[in-house]
Structure 1
Amino acid sequence: MGKRGPAAKPTALRVLHGDRPDRINTHEPAPPMQDITCPDWASDAARAIWARLAPGLIERRVLTPWDTDAFLVLCEALARYRAATQLVNGSALLVQGGSGLMKNPALQVQADAERTFLTFAARFGLTPSDRQAIKVEVADGDHDRANRLLS
């Protein structure tokens, strides 16, 4: 059985919103500080979305090096949504099948692959809301980082 209730709020947002300190995970794993770039396997449409959304998320430390693949799935999904909207506006997303009209099977394959990836991303704490629920021991040098987060 999975986690219950709404997705947890990322720690960075908890701090910004002034949540009680006892509700903030000070032992959350922290990704390394390094440049964040769009993966080279991104489509052109996803790259345009990445260029529009990523800078603000990187600036606020919501998008980290650990999150690039999950964020690219989001960008690709939005690019596919745009393409699907254009198809619907110009024609339909139904194809002729053996028993009449049916949904294009490629759309189901895509949706299944995305769902699978996001399930695994959550299990590994690769998104901010999932990462806040993971507790790890903080090394002595990392206590300052946790205290800066809470101040």
Structure 2
Amino acid sequence: MGKRGPAAKPTALRVLHGDRADRINADEPEPPEDEVRCPDWASDDARAIWQRLAPGLEDRGVLTPWDVDAFLVLCEALARYRSATQLVNGSALLVQGGSGLMKNPALQVQAEAERTFLQFAARFGLTPSDRQSIKVEVGRDGNKGGAERLLS
């Protein structure tokens, strides 16, 4: 079972809002500013998805070197979903099995990949409903972020 209640407010936002000092994690770990690279062991389809999605997430500070493995799971799940969808579209929903007609096994692969993708996509704000709950400071591309934006 996951965490209950609303998502925690980012530390930078807590400071900006003037939350009590004992409620602010002064020792929150911060990922390094290293380059984010797709792992060598990624499939070709996942690598193509990575190249399409990663630059925008990295520019906004959502994708960091610590998030590489989780983001690759997302890319692989979407690649699997795409492959399963092509299989389903190219065949019937029901196929001949050992004991007669049965549901096409590609439907199960498709559903599992969809669940995995949506679960990880929420972490990166890749769906409209999830985006509204993520707060990022825009500043890497020259736009003002954080307190500068609010105080100008």
CA–CA separation in structure 2 for the residues paired with 1:79 and 1:50: 10
Cα pair distance change 1:50/1:34, threshold 3 Å:
same
Question: How many pairs align?
Answer: 116
- SS at 2:102's partner residue? strand
- Structure 1 residues 111 and 64 mapped into 2: Cα distance closer, same or farther (>3 Å)? same
Distance 1:97 1:36, change over 3 A: same
Counterpart in the other structure of 1:11: 10
Q: If the length of structure 2 is used for normalisation, what is the TM-score?
A: 0.56
* One-letter amino acid of the counterpart of residue 58, structure 2: I
1:85 is the counterpart of 2:85: yes
* 2:52 matched residue in structure 1: 52
Q: Is 2:24 aligned against 1:29? A: no
Give the whole-Å Cα distance in 2 for the aligned partners of 1:94 and 1:70: 34
Distance apart, 1:30 and its partner CA: 0.8
> Any idea what the Cα deviations from partners look like across 1:14-38, whole Å, max 9, x if unmatched?
85xxx84538765432112211100
Partners in 2 of 1:97 and 1:24 — Cα distance?
58
The verdict on how the C-alpha distance between 1:42 and 1:5 changes in structure 2, with shifts beyond 3 A counting, is same
TM-score normalised by the chain length of structure 1: 0.56
Q: Taking structure 1 as reference, are residues 102 and 88 closer, same or farther at Cα in structure 2, changes over 3 Å only?
A: closer
Percent identity over the alignment is: 60
Secondary structure of 1:101's counterpart equals strand
Equivalent residue for 2:42?
42
Q: Which residue of 1 aligns with 2:105?
A: 104
Report the CA distance between 1:66 and its aligned residue: 0.8
Distance between the aligned counterparts of 1:27 and 1:128, measured in 2?
A: 23
Unaligned runs of 5+ in 2: 126-144, 148-152
Q: Deviations over 1:74-118 (max 9, x none)?
A: 11111112112212221146554444414528955x949x86xx8
The structure having more radius of gyration, on CA atoms, is 2
Partner of 1:65: 65
| Helix, strand or coil at the partner of 1:71 | helix
RMSD: 3.9
- For residues 4 and 30 of structure 2, the distance between their equivalents in structure 1, rounded to whole angstroms, comes to 24
Unaligned runs of 5+ in 1: 120-126, 130-148
Contact kept, 8 Å, 1:57 with 1:63, in 2: the verdict is yes
- The answer to whether the 8 A contact 2:87-2:106 is kept is no
Seen in structure 2, the aligned counterparts of structure 1 residues 42 and 61 have a Cα distance that, compared at 3 Å, is same
